[in-house]
A and B are shown apart, each in its own frame.
Chain A
Amino acid sequence: MKKQVTLFTEYTKGVWDQNPVFKQVLGMCPALAVTVSAMNGIAMALATTFVLTFSSLIISLIRKVIPTQVRIASFILIIATFVTIVDLVMRAQFPALSKELGPYIPLIVVNCLILGRQEAFSSKNTPGRAVLDSLGMGTGFLIALGSLGGIREILGSRTFLGLQVMPNAFDPWLVMILPAGAFLSLGLMMGFLNHMNLRKKDREERELVARHLQEPKMSLEHGEEVKSWS
């Protein structure tokens, strides 16, 4: 039996520690395809979060009824239903946005992030936890897509959320809004984040070693005290 995790951690783990895009490398297709601007990225992430949360809720509610052999097919059907809802609502309420995202909204069905969460989490946990987990993963997805979209929009078309932020003297980097820019900027972002993580880990290791080296000396000087708090 694994350690019981608090409800709060259930939410926060998806935001950073297991960020779907940066850490788990899931859901790459939409992450790369729609992040031409921050707005598109955010809209995509919200749509994905909606589908993820509601399908997780349903699947965790009926997780004991679904036979194991046909679980993948049932998951996909439930996901496809919610994707259809999102697509119809977006077409009715935000026609411009829906046109821009085009076939990538229906493609949420095959987003490995969603199916992955159902298989790994919702089908084994209670509805409350499944919803929290989905919201956390959705937030992580939102952070990733928003930042990637923001960077590409600022460098590629001088704007952020449609407002001009770079001076006119700044020549827009056309490559950023082209497909190649998506691969390059996500690759560089992941490399940078890995670098920060590795540095943090190295520092922690060094501190651990340093403390270890100091310990015997300390225990010699005031042995009683050390024992009491360690």
Chain B
Amino acid sequence: MELILIFISAAIVNNFVLAYFLGICPFIGVSNKLSSAFPMGLATTFVMVITAIVTWLIYHMILVPYDVVYLQYVSFILVVASLVQFVEMFIKKVSQPLYRALGIFLPLITTNCAILGLALFIVLKEYSFVEAIFYGVGAGAGFTLAISLMAGIREELELANVPRPFQGAPITLIVAGLLALAFMGFAGMISV
């Protein structure tokens, strides 16, 4: 039960994009089309889950026992960067079509603050190993949900007559604001 609550909390109530503002860059940059937004969400989720596992292990097995917690930012970002590289190579080897579909989005995941944010939040909230995995899956699902919703709206928006000064980033931000308002409806549902 506890684990399901963590999942729902990370995915919907405290959505990474709409409540914590993590991963705004891909959220605005890659949300033009649903066909690219959804795979991007899935790839990010995949990296998030592995990051949650690896950084938890590094933090509790290496950083804490050897009392070098101040190295956590340096080591976490190294882990994320090399993980993304590794995932890229892995996907290239296993499935060529998927690799081509994701294309340039894969390396971009490194600078997605949602990944590093996830690692930091897991440390901050003192989650256990299993809880950390569920938190990672939930955060990824929330990111996928938000970016897919956004892409769906933006596809419709292309047909709309947006005033000239608001074209591009401004209207995207306003749409994101309305989405965030909608997600506020979930606030208070769970207090985790």
Please name 13 further chain A to chain B contacts, defined as beta carbons within 8 Å, in addition to the given A103-B120, A178-B180, A190-B173, sorted by A numbering. Answer: A26-B25, A29-B24, A84-B70, A84-B74, A88-B70, A109-B73, A112-B111, A179-B184, A187-B170, A187-B177, A194-B164, A194-B166, A198-B165
List A88-104 residues whose CB lies under 8 Å from chain B. 88, 102-103
A29-B173 in contact given A191-B166, A194-B166 (Cβ < 8 Å): no
Chain A residue nearest to B181 in the complex (CB): A180
Number of interface residues of A (CB under 8 A): 42
Hey, which bits of chain B sit against chain A, CB under 8 A? Answer: 18-25, 28, 70-74, 77-78, 81, 110-113, 115-117, 120-121, 124, 163-166, 169-174, 176-178, 180-181, 184
Residues of chain A within 8 A (CB-CB) of B165 are 191-192, 194-195, 198
Counting chain A CB atoms within 10 Å of each CB, the highest count among B25, B73, B166 belongs to B73
Which residues of B lie under 8 Å from residue A191 when comparing CB positions? Answer: 163, 165-166, 170-171, 174
Q: Which residue of A lies closest to B29 (CB)?
A: A25
Q: Main SS of chain A's interface residues?
A: helix
Smallest CB-CB separation from B176: which chain A residue? A183
A28 contacts chain B at the CB level, 8 A cutoff: yes
B-chain residues with CB within 8 Å of residue A28 when the two chains form the complex:
21, 24-25, 28
A188 touches B19 (CB 8 A): no
- C-alpha gap A106/B170 in the complex (Å): 27
7 nearest CB pairs, A to B: A183-B177, A187-B173, A184-B177, A194-B165, A195-B165, A187-B174, A180-B180
Provide the bound-state CA to CA distance between A34 and B70, in Å: 23
A182-B21, A192-B165 are known contacts. Are A106 and B81 too (CB-CB below 8 A)? no
**Chain A 53-73 residues near chain B, CB threshold 8 A:** 72-73
Contact indicator B73/A32 (Cβ below 8 Å): no
Decide if A83 touches B24 in the complex (CB within 8 Å).
no
| A81-B116 Cα distance, complex, nearest whole Å | 15
Q: Which residues of A contact B (CB under 8 A)?
A: 25-26, 28-29, 32-33, 72-73, 76-77, 80-81, 83-84, 87-88, 102-103, 106-107, 109-112, 115, 175, 178-184, 186-188, 190-192, 194-195, 198
- Name the residue of chain B whose CB is nearest to the CB of A192: B165
Closest chain B residue, CB of each to CB of A189? B170
B interface secondary structure, majority: helix
Most buried by B among A110, A181, A184: A110
A-B pairs with beta carbons under 8 Å apart, 14 shown: A29-B21, A33-B20, A72-B81, A81-B74, A84-B74, A106-B116, A107-B22, A107-B116, A110-B116, A179-B20, A179-B180, A184-B174, A187-B172, A198-B164
Determine if A190 and B169 form an interchain contact, defined as CB atoms under 8 angstroms apart.
yes
A residues in contact with B19, CB < 8 Å = 179
Q: Roughly how many angstroms separate A102 CA and B180 CA in the complex, as a whole number?
A: 21
